[in-house]
Amino acid sequence: MTNSLQGQTALITGAGRGIGRSIALELARAGASVGLFARRQDDLETVAGEVEAAGGRALVLTGDVTSKADVDSAVAALTDAFGPIDFLVNNAGRSQPYGPVGTVDPEAWWDTQAIHVLGPMLFMSAVLPSMLERGHGRILNVASMAGVMIGTGSSAYTVSKATVIRLSEHVHAEHHDAGVSVFVVHPGSIVTDMVRTSQKDPAAPQRFGGLKPERAEADLERVGRQAVALASGEYDALAGSLLDLEKPLDESLAAATA
C-alpha cells in the first residue's frame, strides 16, 4: 500500500461491486480509510475483507441512497469511526427501466432519477458543511457520456446522468472558492454487472455492441487509480465539468491548462 492518501477518509456509494468496489480498493491501497455504502451487506463485507487483507481500514454502511435518514446515519458513523470525510464518491446507480416515454413505467423511471440525482444531493448535503468548515474536500460524481447524448428508449438513464452533470457543475461553482472541488466523470464503456443485466433485458434498445469484456478488470482498475489521482488534489483544475476518464488525466490536464 502507498501512503498518498494517508489520513484521509473516503465514502463510496455503490461500493459492493464494479466501479465502486474498484475505487474503494484503490483508495484504501493509497492509504485512505474507506466507508463502503450500498444496500447489500454481503457484498460490502466481501469488499471490506479485501481492504483489510491489504492492510487498510473499512467500515460497512448499509442503506438506501435515496433515504435521508440512511445517508445522515452513514456519514455520522463514518465520521465517528475514521474522522471527517475528505473524499465523497457518488457511484450508486442503475440503467433501467427501458422504453420510450408513454410506454415506460413513470414510477420506475422516477426511481432511477432518485438514485442518480437525489442520492448524490443527499450525500453532498451531508458532507459539505464539514468540508466547508475545514476549507477542504473533494467530491467525485460518476456520470456518463450518456448524459450528453440522446438515447431513445433510455431516457431514465440518460436524463438522470444529464442532471448529475449539471448538478455537479453547480455545486463546484458554488463552493470551489471555499476549497471544495467537484468532479463529474465518464468512467468509460466498462462491462460491469449493471451492463450485463441490461444486456439480458429484452426492453433494452440496443445490445451494447463494441464493449470489450476481456478488458473489464483492467478498465475497473484504471478508474480506481484515476479516483486516487483526483482525490490527491493534483488534478483539481479538471473539476467543474464532465471529465472523460478514457483519456489520460495528464492529457486532459494539459488541454485544460493550455
Kindly report whether the peptide bond that precedes residue 129 is cis, defined as omega within 30 degrees of 0: no
Percent of the chain beyond pLDDT 70?
88
Q: Which of 92-106, 107-121, 129-143, 213-227 has the lowest mean pLDDT?
A: 213-227
235 is catalytic: no
Q: Which of 81-85, 122-126, 180-184, 211-215 has the lowest mean pLDDT?
A: 211-215
Mean pLDDT of the chain: 91
Q: Per 3-state DSSP, what percentage of the chain is helix, strand, and coil (rounded to 5)?
A: 55, 15, 35
Residue 103 inside a domain? The answer is yes
Residue 40 inside a domain? The answer is yes
CATH number at residue 18: 3.40.50.720
State residue 190's pLDDT score: 58
Q: pLDDT-derived band of residue 201, with 50, 70 and 90 as boundaries?
A: very low
**Cβ proximity of 134 and 84 under 8 Å:** yes
pLDDT in tens, 169-192: 999 999 999 999 999 999 986 555
Residue 2 inside a domain? The answer is no
Residue 3 inside a domain? The answer is no
Please say if the pLDDT value at position 195 is more than 70: no
Residue 76 inside a domain? The answer is yes
Which carries the bigger pLDDT value, residue 208 or residue 108?
A: 108
Range of the domain at 72: 9-257
State residue 196's pLDDT score: 46
Residue 212 inside a domain? The answer is yes
**If we measure between CA atoms, which residue out of 205, 10, 187, 6 comes closest to residue 89?**
10
Torsion of CA 86, 119, 247, 197, to 10 degrees: 130
pTM of the model: 0.90
Q: Of the listed 157, 190, 224, 235, which one is catalytic?
A: 157
Q: pLDDT-derived band of residue 210, with 50, 70 and 90 as boundaries?
A: low
Question: How distant, in Å, are the alpha carbons of 64, 93, 153, 247 from that of 106?
Answer: 20, 17, 13, 36
Residue 33 inside a domain? The answer is yes
Q: Which of 87-91, 158-162, 200-204 has the lowest mean pLDDT?
A: 200-204
State residue 2's pLDDT score: 57
Distance CA 246, CA 258 (A): 20
Q: How many separate domains does the chain show? A: 1
How large is the average pLDDT for residues 201-205? 57
Residue 4 inside a domain? The answer is no
Which residue type sits at 121?
M
Which carries the bigger pLDDT value, residue 245 or residue 194?
A: 245
Please say if the pLDDT value at position 207 is more than 60: no
